[in-house]
Amino acid sequence: MATIVDRFVIRHLTGTKANQVEEFDYKKYTELTFGRAATNLVRFDPERDSAVSREHGKLIRDTEQPLSFSIVDNNSRNGIFVNKSRVIGSAVVQPGDEIQLGNGGPVFQFDLNPRPVELMMSTRIMDMAVSGKPTTELSLAEAGNGLNDTDLMAPHKVGLGKQTVERMMVTERRQTTRSLMLSVAVVLVLLSGLGYAFRDKFGERKTIVITNKPVIPVVKTDNGLTPEQIASANTSKVVFIEFGYKLTYTPTGDDIYHEYMPVKQRDGSIVNVAMYIETSPGKVEPLLGLKRNVAVGKPIAMAGASGTGFVVSPQGHIMTNRHVAAAWNSYYDFPKDAFPGVLLVQGAKGWEVSPNLVQEFRWVPSETQFFGRKPMSGKVIEGENTYIDVTFNKNEQRFPAQGKPIVSNKHDVAIIKIDLPETLSPVKLRDADKGIAAGQPITVMGYPGISPDVFVGEYSSDFANRNPQIVKVPDVTVTPGNVGKILRGQSVGKAAAYYSEFGDYYQLTVNATGSGNSGGPVFDIDGNAIGIFSASTSRNDATRITFAVPIKYGLELMGRRQVVE
């Protein structure tokens, strides 16, 4: 009578899950996926099991041939080994086989519960590198493990029984097949090594895709995805963001203005000059007041700005820069007529006009200490977005962001959310901070303001408004480059530790982008977003470098520090 299998069994022998056993319903699953991604059935530690790829491979049960199993390598970085033999593409496996994910990676044993008699563990081959002896079989005592109760009660026979001979023949065939597969694998490994050694002479490897259409060669390099492939997979996930904000007085909700002073010029004309106040020695802020109390002034506000973001959840969460989603937490862009300005300083008779004029300086609205001519008590000033509109690539429809943005307290990262009837496909995120190095290739996507705009004109179908509409349609820009340098914003615990006053950033060699690209994803060669494009700096001699925030700060806003699939 055939044994009815109830469960798949995964016995972890080494790695972070060593000595753990996982079981899965045999009838429910036809395949068991394994890797570091959260979507796998057999999931490995995303931080410590570094030899394991995110979607390393899978075990497959053949539904047409009972008790037949195979293992598939999903083009993993470090490969799969079955009983110490490298798997090329896929291979047949049996209960009892030991599977290792990457050379030096974790090992687990594949098994069934209960294991059918006809699927006893294969005769193992001795490792020649260890024993130093020719290949030999282990004791035939293994074959006796499958005897049933009738066999045990039968009189002892001289010679070999029919069942034993059949098992020996099956064992011999399996051993021969494994030896042949091992030989083929060794030859393929050698050929792969030769191909890699002479790759410069033979050029890029080409893969021919066979379909019912004409054969088209698909070029795939050994160095990962091309910028074109990365763009193709993520264009629909990178969004254009338009935004504006104002500063408000929280007790009343009134708009806050920067106060100006009318100053009479020598020719008799009147010029409005911006006013500033010295809050402490060397510390200067704009003189602020309520709109209704400021005779001459300008609102602390911004409009017509744009940036980039990318989808990070099926529910519509979009990651971008803090200076896009909550711009009042970043340096304020004063109007051109704000400098030079008049400075009020504390004198013997109170606030007096200083003879020194105020020149350009940096000020963050959310960090303001004075309101009017008095220090603030509590948080009475708050930024408020007047609008945040999200538009998908080559789309005309604007989708307003909902609620308040989630803002990082320590870096230029924020998350906004839009509500759509459909679920969205998110960008894959990976914290690459431990393995990133100068020189690694990256691809940046976004909507730089310097890029020519694209517009479409449409006639209205609304009887109440027949005017034609001219709408700006975003068209994403793809910019390849490299990591130029890694900047660390804090000491690592040593007395003379290296760190940068600039902050935690990846310095990039991506120079054909800039303002408007802020908040765009920075992809590695595997198509994972490892950073958020944030800033650029340049000199008069046209020297220019750009910077990206490590994705780990975005992952913190999502409540996790692991890979998001």
pLDDT digits (tens, 9 = 90+) for 266-277: 999 999 999 999
In contact, 111 and 120? CB cutoff 8 Å: no
Instruction: Please give the tally of structural domains in the chain.
Output: 3
H or E element in which residue 371 lies = strand 370-371
Using CA atoms, how far residue 443 sits from 82, 322, 563, in Å, is: 36, 21, 19
H or E element in which residue 260 lies = strand 254-264
Do 219 and 180 share a structural domain?
no
Do 398 and 502 share a structural domain?
yes
562 part of a folded domain? no
285 part of a folded domain? yes
pLDDT at 218: 38
* Average pLDDT value for residue range 141-164: 37
Instruction: List b or e across 472-484, with b for residues whose CB sees 16 or more CB atoms inside 10 angstroms.
Output: eebebbbbbbebb
Q: Which residues contact 3 (CB under 8 A, 6 or more apart)?
A: 114, 115, 116, 117
Do 161 and 54 share a structural domain?
yes
In contact, 391 and 242? CB cutoff 8 Å: yes
∠ CA 255-258-264 to the nearest 5 degrees?
Answer: 135
Do 283 and 307 share a structural domain?
yes
Q: Write the single-letter amino acid at 459.
A: Y
Do 155 and 101 share a structural domain?
yes
pLDDT at 135: 30
Q: Which residues contact 92 (CB under 8 A, 6 or more apart)?
A: 68, 69, 70
Pairwise CA distance, residues 99 & 13, whole Å? 10
564 part of a folded domain? no
pLDDT band at 454 (very low <50, low <70, confident <90, very high): confident
Burial of 117 (0-12, 13-18, 19+ CB in 10 A): middle
Mean pLDDT, the chain, integer:
81
Do 147 and 36 share a structural domain?
yes
pLDDT at 170: 47
Do 316 and 181 share a structural domain?
no
Find the domain containing 231 and state its range.
207-235
Return the SS3 of 452. coil
Q: Which residue has the higher pLDDT, 513 or 240?
A: 240
Q: What is the CATH number of the domain that holds 315?
A: 2.40.10.120
Do 124 and 250 share a structural domain?
no
* Average pLDDT value for residue range 206-233: 61
349-353-355-360 Cα dihedral, nearest 10 degrees: 140
Do 115 and 248 share a structural domain?
no
Bridge partner list, 256: 290
202 part of a folded domain? no
Helices (H), 198-340: 199-202, 227-234, 322-325
Do 389 and 471 share a structural domain?
yes
Length of the chain: 565
Do 445 and 311 share a structural domain?
yes
Q: What share of the chain is helix, strand, coil (3-state, %, to 5)?
A: 15, 35, 45
pLDDT band at 172 (very low <50, low <70, confident <90, very high): low
Bridge partner list, 541: none
Residue 346 clears pLDDT 60, i.e. is over it: yes
Q: What is the CATH number of the domain that holds 155?
A: 2.60.200.20
385 part of a folded domain? yes
- 388-435 per-position pLDDT tens digit: 999 999 998 999 999 999 999 889 999 999 999 999 999 999 999 889
